[in-house]
Structure 1
Amino acid sequence: MDRILETTSWICSRTLFDLTNNTIVQGLPEKHSTQLITLFVFFFHEIDVSILNNAANIPSSIANISEYRHKTIRDEATTDYLKSVAKCQKLDNDSVQQLRYEIGDIVGLEIDRVDRTNTSPKTLPCKVISIHTLQNDCVMYKLCTLKGVLSVLYGVQDLLDLRNNDFADLRSVDPTIPFTQACK
């Protein structure tokens, strides 16, 4: 029954039933009107027409059907996408919070391809010399290299973990020097 109802509502330009007196509307295409009326009289003469004639059972047009279907699919896709984004964000936040460096740890800074030549290394090993906590609980690190102290603070997301590597010369660097040594 539903299939016949769907088929007829797709063919007709108007709804098949008139709500005022529960009769079949005379606006059907001529080539289908006789066949459809015969089918409806045969199958539905015992059924209450007002039950069948509502927006849920008889869509007014193909555009409304496809718009409704696409809207539900879009809503589901949006919900799934937002769940996925929230999950990835939580995983990223958890991994960032787990990475905490202490003063004296060896970390690396990735050198951008533009700033290096083909023979220079891809990472710059550094030593954490101080830790700064900003207003939004973001932890920033002051770093030094063999050549000196870097002027920029770096976040944990910018650093590579090199604590397991042995950089003896970098570990022995003391970023604080006495005034007399600085005067030389």
Structure 2
Amino acid sequence: MQASSSNSLPVSTNTNIFVCSSNSSRHDHIRKTAADNYLNTANKKVKLHHVYLNNLTEKFDVNDCVGVQIHTVDRTNTDAKLLPCLIPEKNRKNDDLVFKLVCQYAKLQNAFSVENLVDLKSAYPQELKQLNVDELKGISFIEACKLYVSGAVSGSTCDCKSKCTTEHCPCKKANVSCSTKCHSKRGACQNMGD
């Protein structure tokens, strides 16, 4: 079939456009139904997750012993995997409960959600039982992990650029040997223990 002018389309093309538009509307309906079903399922799972977290949150009370995972970067293979802490307070932040924690060295500046906590009620360390929370200063979680992993006696570590021979080094000042977690990438210093 030949068209009389250059602007007109052959009849078969018009038929294809009609068929495509009916297929398109049918596919749109299927896509919308699938999207609605997906969103409904996702919302149900989110609600179930919130119920699970609320139940888990109720499990922890003030003065309970919990553990927080120490990242592999901050420890070696033989070091502890959890930092034991006490819960001195629970706070509501938006719709979630967050926990302020205290380790044996200091108050942690970070607040933790229930997903970060591991129940350690059955393994309550003696150091935490005798802890006076009011006397502790605040430090970051990474610093607390560093102190715990190094087994810090004085609660100090250093990141000195020198060989730790002067009183500028916090470890030397506290009269404690530097540990493997002090400036570990640079190697040994003059203040390493025997």
TM range (shorter): 0.5 to 0.7
Report the alpha carbon displacement of residue 143 of structure 1 after superposing the two structures with TM. Answer: 1.0
Query: 1:143 pairs with 95, 101, 114, which one?
Result: 101
After superposition, the C-alpha distances for 1:79-128 in whole angstroms (9 at most, x for unaligned) are 01111111111011111111222111111212223333222232222111
Query: C-alpha separation between the residues in 2 aligned to 1:170 and 1:102?
Result: 19
Computed over aligned residues only, the root mean square deviation of the Cα atoms, in angstroms, reads 2.7
Count residues in correspondence: 124
Kept in 2: contact 1:102–1:128 (CA 8 A): yes
Report the alpha carbon displacement of residue 138 of structure 1 after superposing the two structures with TM. Answer: 3.0
The equivalent residue for 1:161 is 119
In structure 2, runs of 5+ residues without a counterpart are: 1-10, 137-194
* TM superposition score normalised by structure 1: 0.56
Query: 1:111 pairs with 70, 75, 82, which one?
Result: 70
Q: How does 1:1-184 map to 2 (within 5 A)?
A: 12-14=12-14, 61-98=18-55, 99-100=57-58, 101-134=60-93, 136-163=94-121, 165-176=122-133
Query: C-alpha separation between the residues in 2 aligned to 1:142 and 1:90?
Result: 25
Structure whose alpha-carbon radius of gyration is higher: 1
Distance 1:143-1:103 versus aligned 2 partners, 3 A rule: same
Identity %: 27
Query: C-alpha separation between the residues in 1 aligned to 2:23 and 2:127?
Result: 66
